[in-house]
Structure 1
Amino acid sequence: MSKKVALVFPRLKRESNVWAPLPLMAIAGPVREAGYEVELVDGRVIHPHLPEIIEAARGALYVGLSVMTGMQIRDAVAISKEIKRTLPDVPVVWGGYHASMLPEQTLAEDYIDIVIRGQGQVAAVELARRLEAGEELDGIPGICFKRGAERVIGEYPKLVDIDQFPPTPYDLIDIEKYMVPDLGRRTMKFFSSQGCPFGCGFCAETSMYGRGWVGFSAGRVVDEIADLVENHGVDALDFADTNFFVSKKRVRAICEGIIERGLDVKWAADVRTKQFIEFPDDLRRLIHRAGCRRLLLGAESGSQQALQQIGKQTSVEDTLHVARLCDRLGIIARFTTMFGFPGEPEKDIELTLRMIEGIKAVNEDFEVHGFFFAPYPGAPMYDEAIRLGFTPPDRLEGWADFDLTELHTPWVNPAYKERVDMVIDFYMPFASPGPELREKMEAGGPKALAYNLMHRLASWRVGHRNFDYPIEYRIKKQRAKRR
């Protein structure tokens, strides 16, 4: 009987900068430690990718795909169909956020045999063992499968300590393909924890891990960082954790370990505004000394009412306070905002614009990005969205066009979305340019002249709140369509 498991990361879209397939690498380590051969194929870095995936699947106990809601579904469906067409006896297994939240709908497709829900390390190993032994799949936490016409939905798994699993198997990938110019010339994504104990209304993480959180020990994190820096030339890390800063004790120990080992590495991570405010001053300074140069924070809205609605447990003043703290420390802050919550009044654009102006007044290099609320399966606000008229796709493939940049909710007027796109994503960045745009403005030549003219025009429009006859915005949209 085969001792091989094939793991596949489907394409999101054709990208020049691709991050390492960390979700599958987290699965691959325990599966390989259990005695199985693992072939990991990342469809984003292979063109064409289907022939290599089929070759990896040949003779495998199963093929596991990690799939997020949205555009990744389209490629995952194509891969799954091709596997079933060419290798009908090889089980196709879906894991990740989407299948975890909608296992029955996922299993309704004839090209998917099994679903792994939630944290998958333990289930992936037990699945390989059962399939190798020809045993039934009943009773494995997290495993859902078909028995004839029946869909068997297994018990949702509890979070287990991830420190028990082997080191991240970077040898399974060509690491050079995942070096991205970002904080450094050779920046890598890095995974050190799973879950988040908070419950933001728009986030499916709440259901994925049940508001639990588990992390690698500080010593293990520092050891893996040292390996990447000393043996692979990594000079910067972007922590992929949903919330890296849950444990102050762990954060302190990681930072002290980086400094004690003399690791010359910059890093970035996500943090909640309240968390960073509540850290003692010495811990914030230690975080900077250990190489933290960028933080991603969910500001979400300039409306206190909206923040309360989504369970954010923070305030607009907290956002501005964090901006000032980051500025004093020399840490670049990136903020996200979100529009289109149920019942959101149009005046929230103005409130959020004022908040952005407050952030930019602290430091023009701070970035603010805008998104639209999308009712993801498993998010606390998902059922409310359905009650208010959102109609979720009735088939798996219908979720392929689902993301945070398009409208999916009937209560948002398209004209409102266009105004948000125009004000927040077009005029505001020109009015308060960050370092990249300022560099273009200072480069000289016709393009620099155009950028400077747009800066002056956008500054006037934002300052006077006059967005009538936005000819320059219309030109930008037409050029984008032609591309």
Structure 2
Amino acid sequence: MAAHNKILLFNPRSAKITFRVPNSILNIAASVEGKYDWMVVDGNREDDPMGKISSYLSTGSFKYIGFTVMPGPQLRQAVAFSKKIKELYPKTIMIWGGYFPSQQYNAVLKSGYVDFVVNGPGDHCFPQLIDALENNTPYELIKNIIYRSGDDIIKTRKEDLIEQDTLPPLPYDKLHTMYSMENYLGKTYLGKKTFAYHSSIGCPFTCSFCSVVPIYEARWKAKSAQHIYNDLKYIKDKWGADAIEFHDNNFFVSEKRVVEFAKLIKPEKMTWWGMARIDTMNKFSDETLSLIREAGCKIIFFGAESGNDELLKRMDKGGTQSGAQIAAFAARMKQFDIIPEYSFVLGMPAPTPEQVEKQIDDDIAFIKKIKRINPTTEIVLYTYSPVPTEGSSLFKEVQNNGFRFPQTLEDWVSPHWENFDMRKNPLTPWLTPAMIDKIRNFETVLNGRYPTVTDIRLTSLRKNAIKALATLRYKINIYQYPYEIKLLQRIWKYRQPEIQGF
């Protein structure tokens, strides 16, 4: 191996307390393993990540640095560090991958400090790009990359999704030499040592509000049930994992695969969580739902989005999802003792302010209906934040309503746009401050009346205290100024799973 072509892979900080294995970075590491030397810097595990990066780059042996960048907190650190790296080590070739640069590549490449964007999976294109740069050969025909040529942005063709079982194993053991794997196995609602895992990429649906769609274009590829089991069994036996978070965009696409996996994992006595679609899982047999619960499935995240069938159609949910189905499925889940975690997206655009507000009110009423049907249903609220789904009628609609994305990375990392990325501050012109307050205040009262079961630090005594304050408000629909609930939630550091995980 050459002495001056090493690769540094950086995972910017995304969590304050609970850390997860940086799977996306490990995929890239696996793609170059045995060909190029590589090291990982995990911003979640370093007190001074920039100092750690500098300790590598100052040796002169690291020619390339790759960042994985999600919107929100990761972006803030990625921007600040990328600028600093280019100032101190201008010859370093910087490559960004992840959801944010794949969607906002113009702002990323025009920043002047990012040289290439990996547009989607990098398992093939990343090593091909390094090879081309090392050998001074053309890279224009490499799929899944975006780069700048003069004043032009060049976006190459997308690659077909790779068969996941053919990919090399993730280098957990080498990561363990840099960061103890035990510290990646956090205590959560699921277990004492919870392991984050990806068993598939993409999603076969085209929801027009989803950031996955522009990257994967309604495609999905998955590891086999046996492959998943082998990986998880290894982590369990070597480091003691007892629970799994499947961070797939859609773990439950194939009932056959789910059944095979459940039968394999059942004897291991591990608990697990994953994401699904309601209309897909509603087709699963009762036998399958019983099996996955017996095999350790404790909670499943579903994109309910709205109880309004017309809104679901505008969101291009695909499939057959409807308000009636969402309600019926919540009732069905009760008999299997699986907690349905329903997310709702409030604040969709409409022709008039009155219609926007009515949509919000109708969905608040529908959410309360769901809680009456199945009180164990976890509710996760988002305020609609546009994503650049090219060609979607919904994105055209929000543009016509005056919405625009920032044009520079500096604007993207301003505090209000960071909150936008977390789907908590929409910055959308059709939502008035009063409407946003209504959504947030209802969320506060809802979380007070029904504290999430996933906050393991919230004792029964504290839950009962918050419930006592919120119950009357919830029953009589008084959501304004819930300061007393907010105060207790702040004092007791109430955890919202959509922001902080389990």
TM-score, normalized by the shorter chain, greater than 0.5:
yes
Q: Larger deviation: 393-402 or 194-203? A: 393-402
- Shift of the 242–410 alpha-carbon distance from structure 1 to 2, 3 Å rule, reads same
From 462, 466, 474, the equivalent of 1:462 is: 474
User: Pairwise mapping of residues 93-242 of structure 1 onto structure 2 (< 5 A)?
Assistant: 93-171=95-173, 172-173=175-176, 174=179, 175-182=181-188, 183-242=190-249
| Structure 2 residue 372 is matched with structure 1 residue 354 | no
Q: 8 Å contact 1:19–1:189 — kept in the other structure?
A: yes
- Shift of the 61–155 alpha-carbon distance from structure 1 to 2, 3 Å rule, reads farther
Q: 8 Å contact 1:301–1:337 — kept in the other structure?
A: yes
Match of 2:29 in 1: 28
State the alpha-carbon separation in 2 of the partners of residues 437 and 52 from structure 1. Answer: 33
Cα RMSD after superposing both structures: 2.5
Offset, 1:31: 1.4
Offset, 1:168: 1.8
Offset, 1:477: 9.9
From 366, 380, 404, the equivalent of 1:391 is: 404
State the alpha-carbon separation in 2 of the partners of residues 295 and 81 from structure 1. Answer: 40
State the alpha-carbon separation in 1 of the partners of residues 69 and 481 from structure 2. Answer: 42
From 304, 311, 325, the equivalent of 1:306 is: 311
Q: 8 Å contact 1:327–1:362 — kept in the other structure?
A: no
Q: 8 Å contact 2:209–2:389 — kept in the other structure?
A: no
Offset, 1:322: 2.1
Q: 8 Å contact 2:242–2:269 — kept in the other structure?
A: yes
3-state SS, counterpart of residue 300 of structure 2: strand
State the alpha-carbon separation in 2 of the partners of residues 176 and 477 from structure 1. Answer: 30
The one-letter amino acid paired with 2:441 is M
| Structure 2 residue 431 is matched with structure 1 residue 429 | no
State the alpha-carbon separation in 1 of the partners of residues 364 and 241 from structure 2. Answer: 37
Match of 1:19 in 2: 20
Offset, 1:471: 5.7
The one-character-per-residue Cα deviations of 1:306-329 (angstroms, maximum 9, x if unpaired) are 222212241122222222222211
How many corresponding residue pairs? 470
State the alpha-carbon separation in 1 of the partners of residues 358 and 151 from structure 2. Answer: 51
The one-character-per-residue Cα deviations of 1:225-265 (angstroms, maximum 9, x if unpaired) are 11111111000000000001112222122112223xx2121
Counting aligned pairs with the same residue, the percent is 29
The one-letter amino acid paired with 2:300 is L
Offset, 1:436: 7.2
State the alpha-carbon separation in 1 of the partners of residues 382 and 43 from structure 2. Answer: 27
From 273, 277, 281, the equivalent of 2:278 is: 273
User: Pairwise mapping of residues 249-328 of structure 1 onto structure 2 (< 5 A)?
Assistant: 249-259=256-266, 262-312=267-317, 313-328=320-335
The one-character-per-residue Cα deviations of 1:279-318 (angstroms, maximum 9, x if unpaired) are 1222112211221111001111232222222122411222
Match of 1:382 in 2: 395
| Structure 2 residue 370 is matched with structure 1 residue 369 | no
Q: 8 Å contact 1:103–1:115 — kept in the other structure?
A: yes
Match of 2:90 in 1: 88
- Shift of the 288–408 alpha-carbon distance from structure 1 to 2, 3 Å rule, reads same
Offset, 1:89: 1.0
Match of 1:6 in 2: 8
Offset, 1:99: 1.4
State the alpha-carbon separation in 1 of the partners of residues 328 and 410 from structure 2. Answer: 43
- Shift of the 467–209 alpha-carbon distance from structure 1 to 2, 3 Å rule, reads closer
The one-character-per-residue Cα deviations of 1:317-357 (angstroms, maximum 9, x if unpaired) are 22222222222111122111111111153233333233322
| Structure 2 residue 356 is matched with structure 1 residue 345 | yes
Q: 8 Å contact 1:141–1:154 — kept in the other structure?
A: yes
The one-character-per-residue Cα deviations of 1:435-454 (angstroms, maximum 9, x if unpaired) are 578996753xxx68xx54x5
State the alpha-carbon separation in 2 of the partners of residues 82 and 223 from structure 1. Answer: 41
The one-letter amino acid paired with 1:168 is L
State the alpha-carbon separation in 1 of the partners of residues 456 and 264 from structure 2. Answer: 37
Q: Larger deviation: 465-474 or 341-350? A: 465-474
- Shift of the 333–89 alpha-carbon distance from structure 1 to 2, 3 Å rule, reads same
- Shift of the 3–438 alpha-carbon distance from structure 1 to 2, 3 Å rule, reads closer
- Tell me the TM-score normalised to structure 2 length: 0.87
- Unaligned stretches of 5+ residues in structure 2: 493-502
Q: 8 Å contact 1:386–1:392 — kept in the other structure?
A: no
| Structure 2 residue 459 is matched with structure 1 residue 417 | no
From 340, 348, 354, the equivalent of 1:333 is: 340
Offset, 1:271: 0.7
State the alpha-carbon separation in 2 of the partners of residues 188 and 106 from structure 1. Answer: 32
Q: Larger deviation: 470-479 or 91-100? A: 470-479
State the alpha-carbon separation in 2 of the partners of residues 128 and 416 from structure 1. Answer: 49
The one-letter amino acid paired with 1:333 is P
3-state SS, counterpart of residue 184 of structure 1: coil
- Unaligned stretches of 5+ residues in structure 1: none
